[in-house]
Amino acid sequence: MKKKELLAMFRQLGCPTIFLTLSAAETKWSELIVILTQVLECLWEILFAPCGSFEGNELEDKYIRVEFQVRGSPHIHVLIWLKNAPKYDKNKPKSIEQCIAFLDKLISVNAKPTEFSEELINLQRHKHSHTCKKHVKNGIKCRFGIPYFPMKKAMILEPFTDDEKFTKKRK
């Protein structure tokens, strides 16, 4: 039933403006059980308030799915449709420019330092595991190229064409 509801939303509203995945770093968060409900309620109030946190773009609709990881902790996937958001068309340079400007307005890698800055950075830092390391001339390197450094401006990346996928596999 939920799948049909989601497909109907795509037909009626078009492509969503934003896709979010929200999850807690529960292994680093000893108070999680006590405050999880309060945090989620507050987050929903902020995200979906009529004035919104989307720089003047009113919330048109949303689709929410809660999933549970193997260890039992929840994470939430959210599709968000915003009114007056630019529509992406890869064949129209003006559309691409508008979408990039929109992304730059909503998303930032800058934050004012707080007393929690170091703790927040540690929660977001990539932890290498045996599956992401590869040996190179000067030691070991992450096969995903992490750390990623912030871009000065948003970019929209297109998937590889079939020819590009084939070329990459042959090398």
pLDDT tens per residue across span 33-69: 566 667 677 777 777 676 666 767 888 888 888 888 7
Backbone torsions φ then ψ of 62, nearest 5 degrees: -150, 155
Residue 53 confidence (pLDDT): 65
Domain coordinates of the chain in residue numbers?
2-131
Rounded to whole angstroms, the Cα distance separating 62 from 79 reads: 6
Looking at every residue in the chain, the average pLDDT score rounds to 77
Highest mean pLDDT: which range of 5-14, 70-79, 129-138:
5-14
Backbone torsions φ then ψ of 11, nearest 5 degrees: -65, -40
Rounded to whole angstroms, the Cα distance separating 57 from 80 reads: 11
| pTM beyond 0.75 | no
**How many CA within 13 A on the CB side of residue 20?**
17
Residue pair 109/45 in contact (Cβ under 8 Å)? The answer is no
How large is the average pLDDT for residues 1-15?
Answer: 90
Residue 95 confidence (pLDDT): 94
Residue 57 or residue 169, greater confidence: 57
pLDDT per position as a tens digit, 17-31: 988 887 776 666 666
Residue 170 has pLDDT above 80, yes or no: no
Residue 101 or residue 121, greater confidence: 101
